[in-house]
């Protein structure tokens, strides 16, 4: 499952939609844990409750922290890892329990260069390799 963290909230990034993480699913042949009919390519992701994320129980969560790129210096900034760790509803999710969460580089939202993808895909490959 791909999520976007923004404003202390998590948004669902639909497989194949939008930029950055959406296209990763078809590129790597990943099976989504949740599919939403009519999902958008909104830059903040689609509104999905953490309970819906928990019910989908993804084995892996891929995260883009939008605010890390545009609001890290602002009061009230919550890094994505804290948003996920602070959500009681997500604590029973397989990906959270097993540490199967891979974060995009902090500047991804404003920098989609090849180095960003290389860094992320390397981190994802290493994380998955450790679990196999």
Per-residue pLDDT of 1-32, as tens digits, reads 999 999 999 988 888 887 889 899 999 999 88
Neighbours of 65 (CB within 10 A): 27
Write down the pTM of the prediction: 0.89
Q: What domain count does the chain have?
A: 1
With helix as H, strand as E and coil as C, how does 68-109 read?
HHHCCCCCCCCCHHHHHHCCHHHCCCHHHHCCCEEECCCCHH
Tokens 């990906």 correspond to 95
- Chain centroid to CA 71: how far? 17
Q: Is the dihedral of CA 90, 93, 96, 102 positive or negative?
A: negative
Secondary structure of residue 61 in the 3-state scheme: strand
CATH number at residue 82: 3.40.50.1980
- pLDDT of the residue at 43: 47
Q: Which residue has the tokens 């397989």?
A: 94
What is the percent of the chain where pLDDT is above 90? Answer: 71
pLDDT at 20: 87
What is the spatial distance between Cα 14 and Cα 2, in angstroms, rounded to a whole number?
A: 7
Work out the average pLDDT over 100-124: 95
Domain range for 77 is: 2-131
């Amino acid at each position: 499952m791909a999520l976007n963290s923004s404003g202390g909230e998590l948004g669902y990034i639909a497989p194949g939609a939008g930029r950055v993480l959406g296209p990763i699913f078809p590129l790597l042949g990943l099976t989504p844990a949740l599919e939403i009919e009519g999902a958008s390519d909104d830059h903040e992701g689609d509104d999905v409750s953490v309970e819906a994320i928990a019910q989908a129980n993804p084995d892996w969560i891929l995260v883009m922290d939008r605010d890390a790129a545009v609001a890290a210096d602002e009061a009230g900034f919550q890094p994505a890892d804290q948003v996920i760790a602070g959500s009681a509803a997500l604590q029973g999710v397989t990906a959270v329990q097993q540490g199967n969460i891979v974060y995009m580089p902090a500047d991804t939202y404003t920098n989609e260069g090849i180095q960003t993808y290389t860094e992320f895909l390397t981190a994802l490959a290493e994380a998955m390799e450790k679990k196999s």
